[in-house]
Amino acid sequence: MGFFRSGGYCKRAKSVFESMSVKPFVLELDEREDGDDIQQALGKFVGRRTVPQVFINGVHLGGSDDTVAAQQSGRLKKLLAGSASAVNAENLKSEL
């Protein structure tokens, strides 16, 4: 999940996911009436009002530079694999 607005850094972070064929859940703050309120709350929650801010499986990854660095180091792939495992485990529990 990520919080985004139109702009270069947001496009850069989205392109990381696109290059990995991952479709993230995105909240486009500039397309919402409450976008400014959400951005204020985000600042209080993570200590940064800047966007993008990316979360994976409830864990705050950070902004654009953090997302790119995580991709380059392989950390992003591991986080996404962990997220998929968590989702798969939840699906299995609900089927039992």
Give me the pLDDT at residue 5, please. Answer: 83
pLDDT grade, residue 91 (50/70/90)?
very low
Could you tell me the domains of the chain? 2-95 (3.40.30.10)
Give me the pLDDT at residue 57, please. Answer: 85
Of 16, 42, 12, the closest CA to residue 27 belongs to 42
Residue 20 or 91, more confident: 20
Name the residue type at position 16.
V
Give me the pLDDT at residue 83, please. Answer: 63
Contact 3, 50 (CB under 8 A): no
Name the residue type at position 79.
L
25-81 confidence digits (pLDDT tens): 999 999 999 999 999 999 999 999 999 999 998 889 999 999 999 999 999 999 998
Contact 48, 63 (CB under 8 A): yes
